[in-house]
Structure 1
Amino acid sequence: MTKSCSHISFPPVLVCVALVAALGLSACGKREEENRDALSERPVLVAQPRVAAQSQGREFAATIRPRVESDLGFRVTGKVVKRFVQAGQKVKAGEPLAALDENDFRLQREQAEAELSAARMVVAQALGDEKRALALRKNGWTTDATLDRIRASAQEARGRQQRAERALELARNSLDYATLRADGDGVVTQTLVEPGQVLGSGQTAIRLAHSGALDAAVSLPEDFAPYADKGAATLTLWSNRGKVYHARLRELSPSADVATRTFAARYAILDADAALALGMSATLSIAAAGPEQVMSVPLSALYNQGDGPSVWKVGADGRLELAPVKLVRLDSDAALVTGGLSPADQIVVLGVHKLEAGRKVRVMTRQTL
């Protein structure tokens, strides 16, 4: 008669051996799984996004120029006999800069004075004739026609006197204009005349930079001209890059230069000091003016599956997750994006097309390579 298996009993020693073997197999399986997970961790090169401005800042070469610079010239034609100033010399308002030969102007003044003296004598005689004619007409000894003729002669004499007075005034002015004077305090930046030179009326003789406010003169390209006043402007001298001056757009040309196709602009230097000298070279930096802060990531970090750009982000558990982003602008070596990124995130920057979501990775940085 066959016995049931349920009645079969095993010695205690065999039972203990079986349990130990089972536990050993379980531990070996766990170690093998852990080893497989460790081997499956893929090393990835990561970097952190940087906060950047949406608009791109620019730098331009600038020249320090005076706010007001006058090209001074004589108001009369003549021959230069003396120049009183040199380039770089400081002058005060009204100080003589150069002088013309005054001989002809003195002769003209003397002639005008003589003509005025003669005109006054004619007026005095005409007034006497008019007075006598009135008396004769009152007594009936002359006609109305004679009186009218004498009155017309007197009126003409008065007109000649007025013309003589104006001519004398013009002659005196011409004599005064023979000396070129500074129209304000400033510095002579250029002298364009020498003694013996004959100048025409209005021809530039002395260039004067007025004391006071200074500007930074720059030339802006066509694509940047509309944004000339959008961002904060700062100025640094080539001779002293440690000092930074603040600037503000004051003047922008409405038309581009025919040759360079650039727009001339002037930025007022708000905190100018004695270190600034006319003609110095400087760099004008116009900061980004975008209202929204965006993240800058390397171009190699962008990944597109066909539904828009994204980046691989390493989660807190060390696994990859795909973070969609919105592309703002591409630069030469970086991309500006917006989306679910922060400066503390770690994003993969190499081999992004060979990764998949949820993959366990081993983080590496350029410092650890």
Structure 2
Amino acid sequence: MSVIACIRSSIVVLALFAAACDSAAPKPDRGGKDPSRTPQPVMVVTARFEDSGRIRTFAATIRPSIESDLGFRISGKVARRLVRTGDFVHSGQALLTLDTNDLRLQREQAEAEVKAAQSSLVQAEADEARATALQSKGWTTKATLQKAGATAEEARSRLVRAQRALDLATHSLDYATLEADADGVITATPVEPGQVISAGQAAVRLARRSELEAVVALPESYVEPVQRATASLSLWSLPGKTYDARLRELSFAADPATRTFAARFVIPSADDKIRIGMSATLTLREQAGRHFARLPLTAVFNHGRGASVLIVGDGGRLSERLVTIERYEDRSALVTSGVMDGESVVALGVENLDPRLTVRPVSSLSLSSADK
């Protein structure tokens, strides 16, 4: 009986061992495949290298480079205003005129003074010539001759003074018409006909159209990079049109309210489609440096050996690769080495993947310029 009992015990042990091995072995799925060898779906992104120069955009406003207040050189009463706000004017075009009644009287008075001075000069020169002839014959004294000469010299000076007064009166009459000093557009007309203004008071504001610029507010972190960046401009009204721009002026002091620095960019190729006050987008592109691949932050992990990524190779095999990070941004990391252009990088779930697994890319992520 002991031998039979031992045999039975051995049979039971062998049966239990076989059952345990059968339960531990992976069961094939309905298709007869081993689930441990089924590729696991993963989301990947394709590494694409680009220049490391950053691109930033800022809201801009079109303003004239030169906008001056024009005024009369003399005082007077405004008779007519020949332009309105928004009018395009040419150099030399009349903008406003003053009442010229008093100015005409002043010029007529100056002309009369000139005629009187000319008559006095004729009489004085005749007396001087007569005194010279008499003194040469000894019929008059030398003092009389000197007095006649002084009178003639005074008459000549009086004529010069009268002529200068006539010139001033003529100029004053010319100054009664305010003319544009350059081609441009009228942006303000603070005076109206009938108003009495003083010399130098602003009567009209003229913006020169030949020199337009884009005004932007730059943050403190971009004060230095803007010096090396290439600028371009696009109008909100014409998004498909791009204009070259060049930095002309950068404020030395920050705005006390916004803590930004005002920058002005000249638009050399400005055409008639650009109008003062328009909204635009200024794009600043830094000079290209090293090349980098932009990968999502979720693709980078560190298990103590440095920044790494998982590369999907042929047949869906994974390989861990150390990478060099130039810098991190909001949602991406700029990788300068460790991956090759065109390689597929696992974008999500890298912390939970075993590099020894076989995977199957099921989707692809693309980082556009909006993610920068």
* TM-score w.r.t. length of structure 2: 0.76
Report the AA paired with residue 265 of structure 2.
R
Counterpart of 2:243 (choices 242, 246, 249) is 246
Preserved contact between residue 234 and residue 244 of structure 1 (Cα < 8 Å): no
- Tell me the equivalent position of 1:362: 359
Change (3 A) 1:104 1:330: farther
Counterpart of 2:69 (choices 65, 68, 71) is 71
The alignment partner of 1:176 has SS state of helix
The alignment partner of 1:151 has SS state of helix
Change (3 A) 1:113 1:297: same
Change (3 A) 1:153 1:316: farther
Change (3 A) 1:308 1:205: farther
Report the AA paired with residue 241 of structure 2.
V
- Tell me the equivalent position of 1:286: 284
Counterpart check, 1:181 vs 2:179: yes
Q: CA deviation at 1:92?
A: 3.6
Kindly, what percent of the aligned residue pairs are identical?
44
Preserved contact between residue 328 and residue 334 of structure 2 (Cα < 8 Å): yes
The alignment partner of 1:223 has SS state of helix
Preserved contact between residue 137 and residue 143 of structure 1 (Cα < 8 Å): yes
Report the AA paired with residue 344 of structure 1.
G
Preserved contact between residue 313 and residue 322 of structure 1 (Cα < 8 Å): yes
Preserved contact between residue 43 and residue 364 of structure 2 (Cα < 8 Å): no
- Tell me the equivalent position of 2:37: 38
Preserved contact between residue 81 and residue 101 of structure 1 (Cα < 8 Å): yes
Task: Write out per-residue CA displacement over residues 65-98 of structure 1, whole angstroms, 9 at most, x where no aligned residue.
Answer: 4455443221211121211222223334333221
Please list every run of 5 or more consecutive structure 2 residues that lacks an aligned counterpart in the other structure. 1-24, 366-372
Report the AA paired with residue 242 of structure 2.
Y
User: 1: CA distance between counterparts of 2:107 and 2:214?
Assistant: 47
- Tell me the equivalent position of 1:17: none
Preserved contact between residue 250 and residue 268 of structure 1 (Cα < 8 Å): no
Query: Cα RMSD over matched residues?
Result: 3.3
Change (3 A) 1:326 1:131: farther
User: 2: CA distance between counterparts of 1:146 and 1:304?
Assistant: 117
- Tell me the equivalent position of 1:23: none
The alignment partner of 2:323 has SS state of strand
The farther-off stretch of 328-337 and 300-309 is: 300-309
User: 1: CA distance between counterparts of 2:149 and 2:303?
Assistant: 107
Preserved contact between residue 235 and residue 247 of structure 1 (Cα < 8 Å): yes
Change (3 A) 1:113 1:225: farther
Task: Write out per-residue CA displacement over residues 264-306 of structure 1, whole angstroms, 9 at most, x where no aligned residue.
Answer: 3123152x45443332222222234323332111122223455
User: 1: CA distance between counterparts of 2:230 and 2:209?
Assistant: 26
The farther-off stretch of 170-179 and 150-159 is: 150-159
- Tell me the equivalent position of 2:116: 118
User: 2: CA distance between counterparts of 1:262 and 1:102?
Assistant: 48
Counterpart check, 1:263 vs 2:262: yes
- Tell me the equivalent position of 1:91: 89
User: 2: CA distance between counterparts of 1:70 and 1:277?
Assistant: 17
- Tell me the equivalent position of 1:47: 45
- Tell me the equivalent position of 1:330: 328
The alignment partner of 2:314 has SS state of coil
Counterpart of 1:192 (choices 161, 174, 190) is 190
User: 1: CA distance between counterparts of 2:175 and 2:254?
Assistant: 36
User: 1: CA distance between counterparts of 2:121 and 2:359?
Assistant: 114
The alignment partner of 1:208 has SS state of strand
Preserved contact between residue 74 and residue 178 of structure 1 (Cα < 8 Å): yes
The farther-off stretch of 130-139 and 302-311 is: 302-311
User: 1: CA distance between counterparts of 2:327 and 2:150?
Assistant: 87
Please list every run of 5 or more consecutive structure 1 residues that lacks an aligned counterpart in the other structure. 1-27
Q: CA deviation at 1:314?
A: 2.8
User: 1: CA distance between counterparts of 2:251 and 2:182?
Assistant: 29
The alignment partner of 1:202 has SS state of coil
- Tell me the equivalent position of 2:301: 303
Preserved contact between residue 112 and residue 164 of structure 1 (Cα < 8 Å): yes
User: 1: CA distance between counterparts of 2:244 and 2:227?
Assistant: 10
User: 2: CA distance between counterparts of 1:250 and 1:105?
Assistant: 48
Task: Write out per-residue CA displacement over residues 331-363 of structure 1, whole angstroms, 9 at most, x where no aligned residue.
Answer: 21112221132341122333445566x523414
User: 2: CA distance between counterparts of 1:254 and 1:160?
Assistant: 56
- Tell me the equivalent position of 2:78: 80
- Tell me the equivalent position of 2:17: none
Change (3 A) 1:255 1:156: farther
* TM-score w.r.t. length of structure 1: 0.77
Preserved contact between residue 192 and residue 206 of structure 1 (Cα < 8 Å): yes
User: 1: CA distance between counterparts of 2:254 and 2:161?
Assistant: 49
The farther-off stretch of 49-58 and 70-79 is: 49-58
Preserved contact between residue 324 and residue 338 of structure 2 (Cα < 8 Å): no
Change (3 A) 1:316 1:336: same
Change (3 A) 1:129 1:362: same
Q: CA deviation at 1:229?
A: 5.8
Task: Write out per-residue CA displacement over residues 301-320 of structure 1, whole angstroms, 9 at most, x where no aligned residue.
Answer: 22345564333323335444
The alignment partner of 1:134 has SS state of helix
Counterpart check, 1:102 vs 2:95: no
Q: CA deviation at 1:36?
A: 8.0
Preserved contact between residue 229 and residue 248 of structure 1 (Cα < 8 Å): no
Counterpart check, 1:208 vs 2:206: yes
User: 2: CA distance between counterparts of 1:258 and 1:314?
Assistant: 51
